[in-house]
Amino acid sequence: MQPSDSSRGHWDPALLSSILSSSTAPDAMVEVRTPCGFKLLVHKSLLAQYSRYYSVAVSGEFLEAKNTSFEIEINQQQAEVFICWLYSGRLSDNLLRPDTKDLLDLYVFADKTDISALRRQIMTALVNRRGVHMSLRSIIMIINSLPVSSPLYRFAVEWYVHHWMPTVAENGKYDPAYEELPKEFLFTVMCGFSEIRDNHQRMKRILCKCCTNPCFYHEHENHDEWVACESYTLQNF
């Protein structure tokens, strides 16, 4: 039985308990490894639970379903955060403290492997984190890796509009990477600047979404799901 879309949307401790108690066969595990050589065994059913990509890879009829290992394109620190999340529902513990770059790279990984629950939790962590700094290189990575409809892309635009400070960005030095910013991104940012100026002239204060409600950056199917997710977020984070 395939997990439903709604069950994939949030990490669930009850599902973890069920998977651990029922996955006792020798072939219940698969090795996850990174390009740097880090590797660890994880439960196939747990990967399949939250990812359509891994669901096909571990239980489908394709050649990949017979694999005993998967390589994931993230570094060891990020892989450890991913495994921590799979088994605890958290992005950090006493030892793991992912920085902003780790979270951004993990989001791109979760986008490629279709792990919506991880994407949502990363967006919640970014919105709730104080003092987030997104380097120019991180912005370019997001633009090159994600579609404009992606919540993280929209977060990057919002952050750039409200928090980018030319006098302190990149230590105040000109970075040739600015020339890599697509015109479409810059146009969207300029529209945001214009909206701020217009509201300022009308004596209205406009709050940035990237520091307020994480649900602005979750992928809700409808209003009811938005309300349920917002309630879940407030109770768990």
Same domain, 110 and 26: yes
Q: Residue for token digits 């919640």?
A: 124
Which of 9, 116, 14, 2 lies closest to 59 in space, CA to CA? 2
Residue 48 inside a domain? The answer is: yes
Residue 229 inside a domain? The answer is: no
Residue 226 inside a domain? The answer is: no
Q: How far apart are CA 28 and CA 46, in angstroms?
A: 10
Same domain, 161 and 125: no
Q: Where residue 17 sits, what CATH number does that domain have? A: 3.30.710.10
Cα 38 to the center of its chain, rounded Å:
21
Q: Which amino acid is at 110?
A: A
Q: Which amino acid is at 67?
A: N
pLDDT tens, the chain, 237 aa long: 455 555 677 899 999 999 889 877 777 888 999 999 999 999 988 999 999 888 888 776 554 555 678 889 999 999 999 999 999 999 988 777 899 999 999 999 999 999 999 999 999 999 998 778 888 889 999 999 999 999 999 999 999 888 876 655 556 566 677 778 888 998 998 888 888 776 665 555 667 888 888 888 988 666 665 566 665 555 555
pTM of the model: 0.84
Q: What are the φ/ψ torsions at residue 202 (nearest 5 degrees)? A: -90, 10
Same domain, 181 and 197: yes
Cβ pair 24, 130 in contact under 8 A: no
Same domain, 187 and 71: no
Environment class of 108 (CB within 10 Å of its CB; exposed 0-12, middle 13-18, buried 19+): buried
Please provide the size of the chain in residues. Answer: 237
Same domain, 1 and 100: yes
Residue ending a domain, choose from 77, 98, 129: 129
Residue 162 inside a domain? The answer is: yes
Range of the domain at 96: 1-129
Same domain, 14 and 77: yes
Q: Residue for token digits 């917002």?
A: 230
Tell me how many domains the chain contains: 2
Helices 183-201 and 151-163, packing angle to 10 deg: 50
Q: How far apart are CA 96 and CA 207, in angstroms?
A: 31
Q: How far apart are CA 91 and CA 78, in angstroms?
A: 10
Looking at residue 177, its pLDDT comes to 72
